[in-house]
Amino acid sequence: MLMVRTAKLTTQQIGKLGELLVQYRLLSFGIESAHLTTDSGIDLVAYSPNRKTAFTIQIKTNLQPKAGGGKGKAALDWWVPQDSPAELFAFVDASENRVWLFSQSELKEFAQQNSNGRFHLYMYTDPTVTRRNNSRASLVSEFEEFRLENRISTLF
C-alpha cells in the first residue's frame, strides 16, 4: 500500500515513523517495546514474553526506494555503525510498511559493503535489476526470511 504525502518529512520525522511502525508491528504480535529518550544507538527495547528477556533494537528507515547509486534501479538502503550496541536491527520501508529484522551476526554476513566503520545493506525493489558477476546486490524478495512477521517466532 503506497502512501501519498502532501508535506515533505524531515529526517527526524522519517526516523520516528520507522520507530512507531516497528513498535506497532511488534505489539500486533504481543511484543511490548519502549522507546529510549536519548540517542545511544538503541531506539527500542522489546520484551519477549516467551524468552522472558529484553532485546535492544536499532531502527533505520527509508521513506521510499530511491535510484541505486543516484541513477540506477530502485533500491532501499541503510547504513549502520559497526560498533552499534544494539542486538537487533530493524530496517524499514515506510512506503510499503515493511520491516526486516537482523541480528548483529546476520547484518555482518549479509551487508554488501563494510566501509568507514559502517555496514551498508541494500535491496533492489526493481526485479529487473541485472547483477554483474560476483555482485552481492540482492533483491527485496531474497530477504523474505528476515521480514518481521517471519522472525517473531525465532527471535521472540
Q: pLDDT tens digits, residue range 32-43?
A: 999 998 878 999
Q: Is the pLDDT of residue 6 over 90?
A: no
Q: What value does the mean pLDDT of the chain take?
A: 91
Half-sphere exposure of 43 (CA within 13 A, CB side): 20
Percent of the chain whose pLDDT exceeds 90 = 74
Rounded to whole angstroms, how far apart are CA atoms 120 and 16? 21
Whether 62 contacts 93, CB under 8 Å: yes
- Mean pLDDT confidence for 46-75: 92
Q: Is the pLDDT of residue 68 over 70?
A: yes
Whether 120 contacts 111, CB under 8 Å: yes
- pLDDT band with cut points at 50, 70 and 90 for residue 124: very high
> What is the pTM for the complete model shown?
0.91
pLDDT of residue 115: 87
Q: How far is CA 94 from CA 2, 126, 128, 152, in A?
A: 9, 16, 22, 19
Percent of the chain whose pLDDT exceeds 70 = 92
- pLDDT band with cut points at 50, 70 and 90 for residue 121: very high
The three cell numbers locating residue 136: 552481492
71 against 31, higher pLDDT: 31
Domain made up of 11-155: CATH architecture:
3-Layer(aba) Sandwich (3.40)
